[in-house]
């Protein structure tokens, strides 16, 4: 965890990308109020094996002279991936997509299912490019993820 009380939002946005490129597994930025009631930001960084490079970056680029290290354990839910065939229909047209679905939770009672954002984008782009059918990304992702929880390997989705 590192505190930044003098970096503008644009610098923090660029820093997130840079820190990920250095090898961090994740970066979160939370707004905060620092000493003397100044606005600031807390950077929560999962450094992976890149802590030395990230520490140097924080000092050089963001003028952060030190940081807190918390030794943690990431606890995962049971997760598995299944292949499903989605028959997506819209305005009388149909396209079929083979997608990898993430299923989280026990087999008998999954907690949720999800599909990659890039897969939902691909469905949206394909419908528009091949059929001139425009559907917003959030709609496609929501409908496909909702249908993904159905049993079976072939699923129909009406958009």
Same domain membership, residue 128 and residue 93: yes
- Give the residue carrying structure tokens 């917003």: 136
Same domain membership, residue 89 and residue 130: yes
Same domain membership, residue 145 and residue 113: yes
Same domain membership, residue 153 and residue 85: yes
Give residue 98's pLDDT band: very low, low, confident or very high (50, 70, 90).
Answer: very high
Residue 22 lies in a domain: yes
What would the DSSP string read from start to end of 51-109?
Answer: HHHHHHHHHHHH-----------PPPPPEEEEEEEEEEEETTEEEEEEEEEEEES-TTS
Residue 10 lies in a domain: yes
The number of domains in the chain is 2
Residue 8 lies in a domain: yes
**What is the 3-class SS of 94-116, one letter each residue?**
EEEEEEEEEEECCCCCCCEEEEC
Same domain membership, residue 85 and residue 48: no
The pLDDT score that the predictor gives to residue 10 is: 81
CA distance linking residue 40 with residue 5, whole number of Å: 4
> How much is the pTM?
0.62
Taking alpha carbons only, the member of 94, 4, 106, 105 closest to residue 57 is 4
**Above 80 in pLDDT, residue 8?**
no
| Strands 79-90 and 39-46, bridge-based pairing | unpaired
Element (H, E) at 10: helix 9-22
Mean pLDDT over each residue of the chain, to the nearest integer: 91
| Strands 39-46 and 26-33, bridge-based pairing | antiparallel
* pLDDT per residue as tens digits for the range 99-154: 999 999 988 888 999 999 999 999 999 999 999 999 988 999 999 999 988 878 88
Q: Residue 7 belongs to a domain with what CATH number? A: 3.30.70.1380
Structural domain containing residue 53? 2-62
């Amino acid at each position: 965890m590192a505190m930044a009380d003098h970096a503008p939002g644009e610098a923090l946005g660029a820093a997130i990308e840079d820190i990920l490129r250095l090898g961090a597994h994740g970066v979160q930025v939370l707004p905060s109020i620092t000493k003397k009631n100044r606005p600031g930001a807390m950077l929560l960084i999962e450094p992976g094996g890149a802590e030395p490079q990230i520490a140097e970056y924080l000092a050089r680029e963001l003028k952060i002279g030190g940081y807190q290290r918390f030794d943690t354990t990431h606890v995962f839910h049971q997760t598995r991936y299944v292949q499903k065939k989605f028959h997506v229909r819209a305005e009388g047209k149909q396209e079929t997509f083979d997608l990898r679905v993430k299923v989280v939770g026990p087999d008998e009672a999954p907690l949720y299912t999800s599909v990659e954002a890039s897969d939902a984008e691909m469905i949206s782009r394909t419908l528009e490019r091949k059929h001139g059918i425009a559907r917003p990304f959030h709609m496609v992702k929501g409908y496909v993820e909702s249908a993904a929880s159905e049993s079976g390997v072939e699923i129909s989705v009406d958009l």
